[in-house]
Structure 1
């Protein structure tokens, strides 16, 4: 497919070389269109050598080929990385002072913008208004990552990892609908850890791959994504705001806070059912004889609590939530059930018990589901027939879930 890679004038321009490599190595034809300012960071010969195509920032080069119209109209995807505050402002207001902004005005294909700038610039009301305008017009504007910026500054504004931008672009090129545009979604991922002492913990085998696929796919479909990640060693999905958690209690607090005002909550994390009743402040030493038993106590049931909070919010019919209670009323709540036996029977019982709309049930163990790139699932639907999702990449399972979610959104 034909991809236009726009590069605007930020220090993160050098990272676009990696994004270009990912596109070309996967067989895409890439035309790089930098701004004049971008060429101060990475020169035209570099872009030409890496892409195998001519590079120009000007509408006056090769005028007989009408590049300011032809490039955008012939592309299957336009992605701008980095997209500076200046570029976002020009795109939002329809300015066309160079080849890249002309290309954005004439593009009839999907457009993905990956912002990178200092935190103050990203949070400025003008930038926020420009981003909102672009999203309303159909562009996919990814939220920047949080991390080290130019100099000693740290905060939101870092260009997302090029490999993650590439993954979002692949989902867009597959032609998935932008049916989550304007929606706020919360996804939990990973596995919680419950401390026994400062060294040891009770945990599970979840790696977060399915939850991250859900977050990445939601961003590609236009959603504003908050990802609550428990003990996950994966790069942050491009376009998602990532909140870290370790224990079930921490994950509960983060999910409930993020769910206020959310349209969809997807509980893909493997949350520990139990925790040690007593946490030791120092490492338990090995002694002669048998160790003391570890007494367990139940963790809060976050999925059931979300269902209860939604029920209470709807019964209140607009009344303010009681003090100390988070007002949670998502249109769709999705749960996950990892089962080793009696998969559908256990799943149906859980669906009835939890108060969620969809329950994604999969069989785990013996190399299935946890830590693998593929997954298969049965999605149980409240008041409807189960939907089988055949074995395939976890992104395909994610798309199947979002298809069902989108159909239930008002």
Structure 2
């Protein structure tokens, strides 16, 4: 599914009445539904309850970017990121779950869109992404997982994949594999649709969950493909053009990660303000101490600066304009900011912040990941510098 540009608002970054309503709806859901679940399940590394996923589907969250003709909301990346930010204020993993619906249909044919997108929008058909490998993280062109045709014309997959979050619970997996070896490494990569039963792996696929320090609520898998057979029509798009499909949605993914970073930081800020007003030392609330007050001021300023840049990037994407550099900037700045702000929040909480009695340690652990996934901070700096100085 290709995101369709929408008319640009009369005022850039304008928070329309519709957007404010969506933001308020997501904030209420995050506060009343997601946060209690996160506080209960994150400390024990539990998985999302199906009831929560169903509620998200009923609210239309999995179809924000899906056209109305397929049962979606037909909205833009701006609205998508507004919802992601609010959900991350409660649990970043749930904001990640958004992408198991909205952004997973890239490469579908018109026939597949008509058949599958209504199910995606309703939450019946959620996906996982199998791209990275042990030797192919930022270097996507280095994929070694192979797909070869057998005598019947079917595809036979062999190899391994890393960092495939939600692979077990997904209804389908978007799989990238090498179908030919060419002089230019980025060529010869193809994309496949692996349809499966939710909660299991089909014959020929096995997996081991990663031992993560955060991003709980779902499992992230290392997958092994051992003579796994796919029908000939499982190929998505043109054979050998998978690299271009992999990089086509990077602007949206980076804006989404920036939104998650900002949501984490906002939650940490709000928790810190609450703690400073309640905690007393030397006969005064901590909120009376200037050094701590200045910490809060700095945290808030950094969050708002990243938020406004995110709004700009979302507006550019929704207007159909390329913004590779700006998307890299907001992903880089928001990730770095989020780690710093959540760390400051933990410091403000003192020893209490280093316990699981307060959500701030969860925000801190999850914020650290935002500097790594969807392209590390170093990769973003390379993109920005290449735009400014040339390759």
TM-score range, shorter chain: under 0.3
Answer 1 or 2: which has greater helix percent: 2
> Which of structures 1 and 2 has the bigger CA Rg?
1
The TM-score, its normalising length taken from structure 2, stands at 0.24
Higher relative contact order (CA 8 A, sep 6+): 2
